[in-house]
Amino acid sequence: MSNQIKGIVIRAPSWVGDAVMSLPALHELRRIFPEAHIAVTAPPGTTDIFIDSDLVNEVIVQSRDGLLSTFTQAREWRKRHFDLAVIFQNSFGSAAVASLGRVPTRIGYATDRRTFLLTHPLPVPEWKDQRHESFYYLNIVAELERVLLGTSTVNKVAPKFALHVSEERKERARRLLAEHAADLTKPIALLCPGSINSRAKRWPPERYAALADRLAQAGITVALIGSPGELPVSEEVAAHAESSPLMLTGETTVAEAVALISIADVLITNDTGPAHIGAALKIRTIVIFGPTNPLTTYPMSPNAEIIRHSPDCAPCMLRDCPIDHRCMTAISPEEVFERTVAHIGIQPVG
């Protein structure tokens, strides 16, 4: 039946980090359907993750959420005559688009009261909160293979993350740094101090500032990155810092941020999208963990590590800490600095 599936549409997760964690499932889907035309759709920004991917044939930018958007997308899907919709996103709306778009085979999790919209609704695995999020998406492809092909070859042991950045994009990233007076002869450290969906995940700005100063003293070029919504946090870091880190927060698209990360020597970030980008790119990545569950969202790469001093209340998964943010304040700038310089192989100065 594999050769009967000609057109596949994938509704990718909406968040950038989740989209990166779905890449192993996309890899397995391409392996199972090597000749199919695979289109991936996601909101603006998130689609940038798939720009240089050799796993997909087409990237479709999803229009805004809402009832009108649902019907507009469904009309477009009907025109394309997809044979199969693989829905990684958990929302009702994503399944509604596939159903209204008359895709004959629709598989995804039975979440958000959308079971009737799927031809193959899957129960959420009992292990969801005990395993890395990439397995959550791989499980959908494994069930798809079992149901449609009667085989079970999906790799659930060693997920393969493939995030590609063209040399042209890397060169543009170098030019962007140069335009901001970066010294490209020095190691480059990118700091991502923000987090869109949780204030509790943010290591305090004054600590990022102290880290930026220590890195600058060690002869490292430091730049702050993040989305426009994270600019106030980066501005607070810059205000506390004495070393004037480069301000790139809010000045890049997701695609440009990915390219910047790909040429960096090290990335230091909270548990947010760039952590998974750095890991997928095999860049040295340090992730500061606090209220979130490292079992499900740790950066899956031999070049990545987490720093975490977990109190009894963690992981709480709260967006705002109701007490004293002890999971984050237990981590010192000096500890992060020492782990960083060890990662990039230079001797601390001072």
Q: What is the mean pLDDT of the chain?
A: 91
At 342 the pLDDT is 85
325 pLDDT band, cuts 50/70/90, is confident
At 240 the pLDDT is 97
203: Cβ contacts below 8 Å, ≥ 6 apart: 193, 270, 288, 290, 328, 331
CB–CB of 84/9 below 8 Å?
A: yes
Is 324's pLDDT higher than 70?
Answer: no
Task: Supply the DSSP symbol for 292.
Answer: S
- Structure tokens of 52? 């240089």
321 pLDDT band, cuts 50/70/90, is low
CB–CB of 6/24 below 8 Å?
A: no
Tallying the residues shown for the chain, one arrives at: 350
152 pLDDT band, cuts 50/70/90, is confident
At 68 the pLDDT is 79
pLDDT tens-digit map of 52-107: 999 999 999 987 677 778 899 999 999 999 999 999 999 999 999 999 999 999 99
Q: How far apart are CA 338 and CA 347, in angstroms?
A: 9
At 2 the pLDDT is 62
As a whole-number percent, the residues of the chain with pLDDT over 90 amount to 76
346 pLDDT band, cuts 50/70/90, is low
CB–CB of 7/28 below 8 Å?
A: no
CB–CB of 197/15 below 8 Å?
A: yes
Q: How far apart are CA 262 and CA 280, in angstroms?
A: 10
Q: How far apart are CA 316 and CA 239, in angstroms?
A: 30
Mean pLDDT of 139-147: 95
Task: Supply the DSSP symbol for 110.
Answer: -
pLDDT tens-digit map of 171-189: 999 999 999 999 999 999 9
Angle at which helix 23-32 crosses helix 133-149, to 10 degrees, equals 20
pLDDT tens-digit map of 245-287: 999 999 999 999 999 999 999 999 999 999 999 999 999 999 9
CB atoms within 10 A of CB 81: 12
Place of tokens 């109701």: 322
Strand-pairing partners, residue 221, are 188
Q: How far apart are CA 244 and CA 144, in angstroms?
A: 51
CB–CB of 194/275 below 8 Å?
A: no
Is 350's pLDDT higher than 60?
Answer: no
Q: What is the pTM of this model?
A: 0.93
Q: How far apart are CA 247 and CA 171, in angstroms?
A: 19
Mean pLDDT of 214-220: 95
At 176 the pLDDT is 97
Q: How far apart are CA 121 and CA 112, in angstroms?
A: 11
Please calculate the CA angle 34-32-88 and round it to the nearest 5 degrees.
110
293 pLDDT band, cuts 50/70/90, is confident
pLDDT tens-digit map of 39-59: 999 999 999 999 999 999 999
At 17 the pLDDT is 95
Is 157's pLDDT higher than 70?
Answer: no
Q: How deeply is 1 buried, as exposed, middle or buried, from its count of CB atoms within 10 A (0-12, 13-18, 19+)?
A: exposed
Q: How far apart are CA 225 and CA 253, in angstroms?
A: 11
At 28 the pLDDT is 95
Q: Which of 40-49, 142-151, 318-327 has the lowest mean pLDDT?
A: 318-327
Q: How far apart are CA 280 and CA 300, in angstroms?
A: 7
